[in-house]
Structure 1
Amino acid sequence: MAAKGLAKFIIVITTVSAAIMELIDTSIVNVALTDMSGSLGVSIEDISWVITAYAIANVIIIPLTGFLAEYFGRKNYYIASMIIFTIASYMCGDSTTLIELVMWRFIQGVGGGALLSTSQAILFDAFKPEDRPVASGLFGMGLVLGPTLGPTLGGYIMDNYQWPLIFMINIPIGIIATMLAFSFIDKKEGEGKHKKGMHIDYNGILLLIVGIGCLQYVLERGEAEDWFSSNTIRICAILAFVGLVSFIWYELSIKKPAVNLRVLNNRNLAFTTIFTFVVGFGLYTSVFVFPVLAQRVLGYTPYETGLTLLAPTMITVIMMPIIGKTMSKGYSPIPFVVTGFIFFAAYCWYSAKVSPDVNRWDFFFPLALRALCLSLVQLPLINQAVAGLQPKDYAAGISLNNMTRQLGGAFGIAIANNYVAQHYAQHKTDMISNLAEGSAQLSGRVATLTHGFIAGGSDSASAVTKAYTIINAAADKQAYYLSYLDTFRLITVFFIAVIPLVAFLRVKKKSPLDLAAAKAAVAEAH
């Protein structure tokens, strides 16, 4: 039943805030890794497990949320997940060793992973059938804002406070959200009554953990461990392949699987997951590549980088409810998806041509275009994911769609890391070959710098060494700059390549009455 008045407002704030909080934690630690490694006395490679552990837990739990919500009861599962997330946040901030921090970060990911799909379902229930596209718009706003707010908030905290605060800031939000959820979110009718008769698919859950967990490990740690030259990566890649193949076979062969993969027989959902994967690829990769470009090449601080991302992304706050209201009138989602993908490709192509001497506001237009295109695609894809499914299959469809988005982001970041490393080496080699020893250009530059250092009091030998050091640093910076631009071009290719697949999406013409009935069924499924 739809909520009214104050209760509806509180449910909106609670669910959207919970989803944003979970997504913020996927990226907020990125700007704090150096301080965390120094504080705990470990290397940057070791501290990156803080990111890996959270991502692995997230991507494992997301496809299981439908089953777990049904088994424990949606409200109970939601509140328990919020409590787990909040307690784990405190323990992360209080950790004094790497093992302790990584363990609690994994537990935080287990609690946080449930907040996405479950928040979406509860939010839908708070709206009348004809207004549920607005609910999708509000939730989609959180999907875009979360990853973008992370670097901004993290940068501000690291500029002014200590790294434990990036975890401790979740505590008051988590406590308030838990109390509001307990007071204002109603239990679904019949919730928890079928728990005794439910079959628990232990084998499927185990295979999912092995397959998805190892795949996520390979994607997160592959670049740091030099991919298949590492025994650990090779073993995990084999386990991921065997685990996922076995998981798919097993889940399709039993009557009551933990994850209902049969819903992918629906053509709309199957092709929507491809689009969602590419959206996740573009969203997370662009949020990864731009901050590194801004800080490594352009010299921005983490906070300045976050502000540069945040201002244009606020367009999403305006656009999502508008698109939701528009779609509630029965418009086809396909034109929105095509336009959004073209806009995102345009954003990436524009970003691939950016000059190294740009100022912060020069990024506003391309980033605003990115925000607009994400607004155009998120909501239509959320709705298209469940178009044509039976009500009982909505939870499975939404969970698979959310998992696909997360995997798209993981693949994107892994590919971007590898792509940047390869192209950096190529660009650096090309520049060095053009500055061969004895060339007039190199000799003139070395002489100018050497004279400057000698005039500043350096002896001849150290002045020459400093000159070559500066030239090498400049070549490094230029090589990284060119490789990041290449990565934006790669993202462009992905977005353009999938546009023809819209031909496989089908949208039946519905009357307003049919549309309202269909949206009511979506809510019932949750």
Structure 2
Amino acid sequence: MATPKGFARAIIVITTVTAAIMELIDTSIVNVALSDMSGSLGVNIEDISWVITSYAIANVIIIPLTGFLAEYFGRKNYYIASMIIFTVASYMCGQSTSLIEIIIWRFVQGVGGGALLSTSQAILFDAFEPKDRPIASGLFGMGLVLGPTLGPTLGGYIIDHASWPLIFMINIPIGILATFLSFSFIEKKQGEGKNKKNIKIDYTGIMLLTVGIGSLQYMLERGESEDWFSSKTIIVTSILAAAGLIAFIWYELKVKSPAVNLRVLNNRNLAFTTIFTFVVGVGLFTSVFVFPVLAQRTLGYTAYETGLTLLAPTMITVLMMPIIGKLMSKGISPIPFVVIGFLLFAAYSWLSAGVSPDVNKNDFFFPLALRAVGISMVQLPLINQAVAGLQPKDYASGIALNNMIRQLGGAFGIALANNYIAHQYAQHRYDLVSKITGESQMFIERSNTIAQGIIARTGDVAGAGTKAVATINNLVDRQAYFLSYLDTFRLITIFFILVIPLVGFLRVKKKSAAEMAATMKAAAEAH
């Protein structure tokens, strides 16, 4: 297959990067619309959060299967089909009038989206010569970073100026155009889809993976809201997760043609890299979860303001990605990048844990900039280390496992953060309330000041005292939550610091430019 040039390559770059950004936006754009959606559909906020859970479950199931499915159906066919599925599901989400309906269509959207992201990167890499693939890596890296960051910003703007169905409907014109361009400009790989008869489908492995990973993702996503093991559903999904994953591992190691090749974990480099990748998942997903709730719940930012605060420093990552790709393609050791990246992320978490309640929006720029540079420095180096020592034929399997571990690290991180915040909130509230007594001079002065303000505004003398106490209670709540969010940032810092010594177990293998290009392409096909 000839490498496209000029206008054709430009169209492929625009199409694949746009499709990836579109999918990634949908992982976070819904977060800021939950309140509006719950009111419109007549359900509570816990129930509507299923639109996030169902999408995440579909994503984490499809990611490790993408390489197999692309090989079986043909990459171009699979890509276009995934785009159509994603676009149709987006329309149906926007048209949904019940909770069950939108949950089902969000799951379908997640199936199409997970495949869309993976295959976009592989197609983009094939549009460049091996020596130019670091450029492709940088271009796609921009999309990977911009998508999740644009989600809250775009979602906040839509909620402020329109209604929640638009967050899904905006995908439709983009999806239609991307489908047309893909059909017209993306060429089939040589022999694509012709070996279907020789590919044996591992139905048992796929079923066990779906049950095990799906149940685990459900447990992690919904555990806190359902009070963990006091819920029968969480108990059942925990059992299914354990049984499904144990059976999946046993079966995939036994079968001749597994859907997911677990044997590559015999490689020490890959085994230890998955630990780093898990922690990266914890840090990335948890920080994106904790910062917005800190900003909106305790600092009074709107969803749109929160998104803008995240967006500016994220542009640093857009600039850094191509630079890291170039340096890696020259054979520079990935180990220093990993260590520095982890230290920078730890510094971001530690600085974020030290902010005061009267912090200015601009004060977040430097810590978030450290986070952006840290992300840039660990992404591609960890992909490199995941396949160091593997045979080229095993690259896709190794990176697919690595990406699945990152996704699970994110789910674990959010579940941990939810639980930790709830625990720390209760402790901080107890500590704060214990210092407030009816005889406390500070409490008396503060409540009297608030009461006088209420009387001046409303003239309600009889109810001013009660309202003043309620106001103080709200302030205590806000401060308890604020302190619990800061504690969570400190917890993230500990995770990143503790794993750094494990770099000593990584083996560095200097790769030629051709090997690096093959690594990047495998990363694309397995992402």
- TM-score relative to the length of structure 1: 0.96
Question: Is 1:140–1:379's contact at 8 Å kept on the other side of the alignment?
Answer: no
Question: CA offset at residue 453 of structure 1?
Answer: 2.6
Partner of 1:53: 54
Q: Output the CA distance in 1 between the equivalents of 2:146 and 2:502.
A: 27
Taking the aligned partners of 2:309 and 2:186, their CA distance within structure 1 comes to: 36
CA pair 501-360 structure 1, distance change in 2 beyond 3 A? same
1:237-316 to structure 2, matched below 5 A, reads 237-316=238-317
CA contact (8 A) 2:329 2:516 kept: no
In structure 2, what is the equivalent of residue 112 of structure 1? Answer: 113
User: 2:75 — aligned with what?
Assistant: 74
| Residue identity in the other structure for 2:513 | L
| Deviates further, 396-405 or 55-64 | 396-405
Deviates more, 1:255-264 or 1:129-138: 129-138
Residue 100 and residue 405 in structure 1: after superposition, are their counterparts in 2 closer, same or farther (change >3 A)? Answer: same
8 Å CA contact 1:391–1:522 kept in 2: the answer is no
Q: Match of 2:517?
A: 519
Deviation at 1:138, TM superposition (A): 2.2
1:125 aligns to 2:126 (yes or no): yes
Instruction: Specify the alignment match of 2:397 in structure 1.
Output: 396
- Aligned-pair identity (%): 76
Contact kept in structure 2, 1:281 and 1:412, CA below 8 Å: yes
Separation of aligned partners in 1, 2:349 and 2:303: 21
Q: Is the 8 A contact 2:158 2:166 kept in 1?
A: yes
Shift of 1:410: 1.0
Q: Which residue of 1 aligns with 2:146?
A: 145
Gaps of 5+ in 2: none
Task: Please name the residue that 2:426 is paired with.
Answer: 425
Contact 2:63 2:404 in 1 (8 A): yes
Q: Distance in 2 between matches of 1:266 and 1:121?
A: 24
Deviations 1:488-526 (Å, cap 9, x if unpaired)? 10111111111111112222234xxx3324524764895
C-alpha displacement of 1:458: 4.1
Aligned residues of 1:131 and 1:325 also touching (Cα < 8 A): no
Deviates more, 1:126-135 or 1:274-283: 126-135
Distance between the aligned counterparts of 2:456 and 2:522, measured in 1?
78
Partner of 1:367: 368
| Structure 2 SS opposite 1:127 | coil
Determine the C-alpha separation between the residues in 2 that align with 1:478 and 1:263: 48
Q: Could you list the per-position Cα deviations for residues 173-224 of structure 1 after superposition, in whole angstroms to 9, with x for gaps in the alignment?
A: 1112212222222212221121112111111111111101111111111111
Partner of 1:93: 94
Question: Offset of 1:360 from its aligned partner?
Answer: 1.2
Q: Which moved more, 1:40-49 or 1:501-510?
A: 501-510
Say yes or no: does 1:219 pair with 2:220: yes
Q: Deviations over 1:365-404 (max 9, x none)?
A: 1111111111111121223323332222222222222212
Q: Deviations over 1:49-74 (max 9, x none)?
A: 11111011110111111111111111
How far apart are 1:104 and its partner, in Å? 0.5
User: Is the 1:26–1:51 Cα contact (8 Å) retained in structure 2?
Assistant: yes
Aligned partners of 1:411, 1:422: CA distance in 2, in Å? 16
Any idea what the Cα deviations from partners look like across 1:347-373, whole Å, max 9, x if unmatched?
110000011111211111111111111
In structure 1, C-alpha distance between the alignment counterparts of 2:226 and 2:105, rounded to whole Å: 23
Map of 1:228 onto structure 2: 229
Asked whether the equivalents of residues 277 and 402 of structure 2 are also in contact (C-alpha less than 8 Å), the reply is yes
For residues 101-137 of structure 1, give each alpha carbon's deviation from its aligned partner in whole angstroms, at most 9, with x where no partner exists.
Answer: 1110000000001122222222222222222223222
CA–CA separation in structure 1 for the residues paired with 2:180 and 2:387:
31
Instruction: Give the counterpart letter for 2:369 in structure 1.
Output: A
Q: Do the aligned partners of 1:269 and 1:384 also contact (CA within 8 Å) in 2?
A: yes
Q: What is the CA–CA distance in structure 1 between the aligned matches of 2:317 and 2:32, rounded to whole Å? A: 24
Distance 1:140 1:273, change over 3 A: farther
- 1:451 maps to 452
- Residue 16 (str. 1) matches residue 14 (str. 2): no
Pairing of 1:341-380 with structure 2 (within 5 A): 341-380=342-381
1:2 Cα deviation from its structure 2 partner: 3.4
Query: What is the rounded CA distance, in whole Å, between the counterparts of 2:69 and 2:215 in structure 1?
Result: 22
Tell me, in whole angstroms, the C-alpha distance in 2 between the residues paired with 1:12 and 1:237. 42
Q: Secondary structure at the match of 2:198?
A: coil
Name the amino acid aligned to 2:319.
Answer: I
- 1:285-332 deviation per Cα after TM superposition (whole angstroms, max 9, x unaligned): 111111111111110110000000001101111111111112221111
Determine if contact 2:145/2:318 at 8 Å carries over to the other structure.
no
Query: In the comparison of the two structures, how many residue pairs are matched?
Result: 523
CA contact (8 A) 1:134 1:328 kept: no
Residue type of the partner of 1:208? L
* Aligned-residue offset at 1:5: 2.0
CA distance in 2 between counterparts of 1:524 and 1:282 reads 25
Q: Which runs of 5+ in 1 are unaligned?
A: none
| 8 Å Cα contact 1:85/1:112 also seen in 2 | yes
SS of the residue corresponding to residue 196 of structure 1 reads helix
1:462 maps to: 463
- Please list the CA deviations of residues 8-64 of structure 1 after superposition, one character each: whole Å capped at 9, or x if unmatched: 222222222222211111110000001001111111111111111101111011111
CA distance in 1, matches of 2:384, 2:20: 18
Q: How has the CA–CA distance of structure 1 residues 501 and 521 changed in structure 2, closer, same or farther, with 3 Å as cutoff?
A: closer
Aligned partners of 1:136 and 1:382 also within 8 Å: no
Contact in 1 for aligned 2:349/2:493 (Cα 8 Å) = yes
Q: Is the 8 A contact 2:396 2:522 kept in 1?
A: no
1:96–1:66 CA distance, 2 compared to 1 (3 A): same
Cα distance change on mapping 1:47 and 1:84 into 2, 3 Å:
same
- Taking the aligned partners of 2:508 and 2:145, their CA distance within structure 1 comes to 25
> Shift of residue 457 of structure 1?
4.6
Distance in 2 (CA, whole Å) between partners of 1:403 and 1:80 is: 22
Letter in 2 for 1:515: A
Maintained 8 Å contact 1:148/1:313: yes
Change (3 A) 1:301 1:523: closer
Q: TM-score normalised to the size of structure 2?
A: 0.96
Q: Deviations over 1:228-253 (max 9, x none)?
A: 11010111111101111111111111
1:172 CA drift (Å): 1.4
Which deviates the most, 384-393 or 318-327? 384-393
SS class of match (2:187): coil
- State the partner residue of 1:509: 510
In 2, Cα distance between equivalents of 1:324 and 1:243: 38
Cα distance between partner residues in 1 of 2:141 and 2:458: 59
Contact residue 313 and residue 368 of structure 1 kept, 8 A? yes
Letter in 2 for 1:285: T
**How far does the alpha carbon of each residue in 1:123-158 deviate from its partner, in whole angstroms, 9 at most, with x for none?**
222222222223222222222222111111111111
Please give the alpha-carbon distance, in whole angstroms, between the structure 2 residues aligned to 1:358 and 1:335: 33
Which amino acid is the alignment partner of residue 167 of structure 1?
Answer: F
In structure 1, the residue corresponding to 2:97 is in which secondary structure? coil
One-letter identity of the residue aligned with 1:15:
T
2:156–2:303 CA contact under 8 A, matched in 1: yes
In structure 2, distance between residues paired with 1:56 and 1:221: 11
